[in-house]
């Protein structure tokens, strides 16, 4: 967990779970796995077990101990809806998010059907609280199928992380989507993000009025290619975030 984050679209990270397994080609060069495996076998290190799945009950109350409101990326080093994470532990994570509601939480998964099923069971007659944003990762047109699972969930704020963008996504159904992030891959084996792929997503967002955030071009390092798309830095956030800030005047301030 980190009280500050270099990720452009969040303020902090919270990792009550670490480790994961790869399920799509978007996972091939996973930055989290690359980082964690550097420490495998180092006794006493948080990643002594490398990127093997590990639950951290001691971290569950971290958001409650952060007094200043902030935007929190949940499980930047894992996937909360991994099949091996016990349902009871996921319940504890959601209970903490519901309780420490001074923050905004960004929950992102590639296991979209499992998230949809969980949210339907937890909120059978209501929506997910608006300060808990639910998103899915999409890397190409095949990955876009996850959007349907997200749309079928009772999330109040739904977002797409189209990162790493590895191919054209085709025509996106953005009905009910509150926010779209696009980014290129980074690291020693980074695959190229083509300009037309990024432009296409941006144009679809503009045509449908969905806020668009361009995170990075990627390359050897995350910031190697900069953040400008056709000379513009795109930092839009969900339209609903304005209402959230007005309800909580001391909440985090972010670029619009």
Residue 131 maps to a domain? yes
Q: Please tell me what DSSP assigns to residue 145.
A: G
- Name the pTM for this structure: 0.93
User: Does the residue 6 lie in any domain?
Assistant: no
Q: Flag whether 5 is in a domain.
A: no
Contact present, 11 and 70 (Cβ < 8 Å): yes
Question: Could you report the per-residue pLDDT of 173-187, keeping only the tens digit for each?
Answer: 999 999 999 999 999
CB distance 183 to 218 below 8 Å: yes
Domain for residue 112, yes or no?
yes
Cα–Cα–Cα angle for 255, 233, 241, rounded to 5 degrees: 30
CA triplet 85, 131, 26: central angle to 5 degrees? 50
255 domain residue, yes or no: no
Work out how many domains the chain is built from and give that number: 1
In this prediction, residue 253 carries a pLDDT of 43
Rounded distance, CA 223 to CA 219, Å? 8
Q: Range of 125's domain?
A: 12-247
Tell me, yes or no, whether 144 lies in a domain: yes
Q: Rounded distance, CA 208 to CA 201, Å?
A: 11
7: in domain = no
Does some domain include residue 140?
A: yes
**How deeply is 235 buried, as exposed, middle or buried, from its count of CB atoms within 10 A (0-12, 13-18, 19+)?**
middle
**What is the per-residue pLDDT across 193-223, written as a single tens digit (0 to 9) for each?**
999 999 999 999 999 999 999 999 999 999 9
């Amino acid at each position: 967990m980190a009280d500050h984050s270099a990720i452009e679209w969040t303020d902090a990270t919270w990792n009550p779970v670490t480790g994961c397994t790869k399920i799509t080609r978007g996972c091939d060069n996973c930055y989290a796995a690359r980082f964690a495996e550097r420490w495998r076998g180092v006794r006493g290190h948080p990643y002594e077990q490398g990127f093997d799945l590990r639950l951290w009950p001691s971290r569950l109350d971290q958001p409650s101990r952060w007094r200043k409101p902030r935007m929190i990326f949940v499980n930047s080093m894992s996937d909360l809806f991994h099949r091996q994470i016990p349902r009871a532990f996921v319940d504890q994570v959601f209970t903490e998010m519901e309780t420490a509601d001074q923050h905004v939480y960004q929950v992102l998964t590639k296991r979209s059907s499992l998230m949809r099923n969980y949210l339907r069971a937890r909120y059978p007659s209501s929506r997910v609280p608006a300060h808990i944003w639910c998103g899915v990762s999409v890397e190409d047109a095949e990955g876009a199928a996850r959007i349907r699972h997200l749309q079928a969930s009772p999330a109040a704020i739904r977002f797409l992380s189209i990162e790493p963008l590895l191919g054209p996504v085709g025509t996106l159904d953005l009905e009910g989507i509150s926010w779209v992030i696009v980014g290129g891959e980074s690291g020693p084996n980074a695959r190229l993000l083509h300009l037309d792929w990024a432009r296409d997503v941006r144009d679809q967002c503009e045509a449908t009025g969905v806020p668009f955030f361009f995170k990075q071009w990627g390359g050897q390092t995350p910031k190697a290619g900069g953040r400008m798309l056709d000379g513009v830095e795109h930092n839009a956030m969900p339209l609903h975030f304005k209402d959230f800030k007005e309800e909580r005047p001391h909440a985090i301030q972010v670029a619009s």
